[in-house]
Amino acid sequence: MDCGTSMVKYILFIFNTIVSIIGILSIVYGVLILKSIGTIEVNGQVGFPPQALMPIILISLGSIVVFISFLGCCGAIRESVCMTMSYAVFLLILLILQLTLVILLFTNKEKFENAMGKVIENAWMADSTHKDGVFDTIQKSLHCCGSSSALDYVAKGELLPSSCCSGSCLNPANYYPGCRGKFIELMTAGSENAKYVGIGLIGVELIGFIFACCLANNVRNYKRRNAY
């Protein structure tokens, strides 16, 4: 094996080791966020609140990155053309998916916000009681009140639950803002971070893809030369 191929091999191994560590840290960070958010219980069923979507995506993405980078490490060390090319293909698929997602987030901000707003609107309409139900749990989790505001309860002729207020609900100054706006704000902030993190990951993955293709090509050529 020539010096250039050996250098690419070890660069790819070190590169994937670093990426694996980043993936593991992403998983740990996502788990810590989920732990801080906590779970909610509605009608005896335990689950995560809507704002848990971002850390769940982070954990899923981190797991995929760890798997792919592990494949890259094994392919580089074993000088396996099959494993290295499989790694390159997986990396290319992930790169394309991330690029598509980033473009969609940049070009469909209004649609994204409307979709997040619909989540809260549907939860409000689906919950007939609002008190001690799904929406009450959302209010406790997000520190918000009603779909648009506390006036949603007034319009229905319902008393404000304690989850709507930071103190006594007799004082309007204690009312939390509407859940729709609060949820959109939370998810938009998360999507803004995701866009720029995604761009950084695309750059890193592109470098890994190039090195993987170079290594696979060099190893294939080396084996062909030795076959004669």
pLDDT at 56: 84
Q: Which residues pair with 41 in a beta bridge?
A: 46
pLDDT at 40: 61
Fold of 99-227: Cd81 Antigen, Extracellular Domain; Chain: A (1.10.1450)
CB of 76 closer than 8 Å to CB of 13: yes
Kindly report the length of the chain: 228
One-character DSSP codes across 13-51: HHHHHHHHHHHHHHHHHHHHHHHHH--EEETTEEE--GG
pLDDT at 176: 93
Report residue 36 CA to chain centroid gap: 16
Q: Which of left, alpha, beta for 41 (phi over 0: left; psi -120 to 50: alpha)?
A: beta
Residue ranges of domains in the chain: 1-78, 99-227
Closest CA relative to residue 177, chosen from 145, 205, 207: 145
Closest CA relative to residue 51, chosen from 139, 165, 164, 172: 139
Q: Over its length of 228 residues, how does the chain's per-residue pLDDT go in tens digits?
A: 556 667 878 888 888 888 888 888 888 888 887 777 666 655 556 666 666 777 888 888 889 888 888 888 888 888 788 888 888 888 889 889 888 888 888 888 888 888 888 888 888 887 666 666 778 888 888 889 988 988 888 888 888 888 899 888 888 889 999 999 988 888 888 778 778 888 888 888 888 888 888 888 877 777 677 665
pLDDT at 212: 85
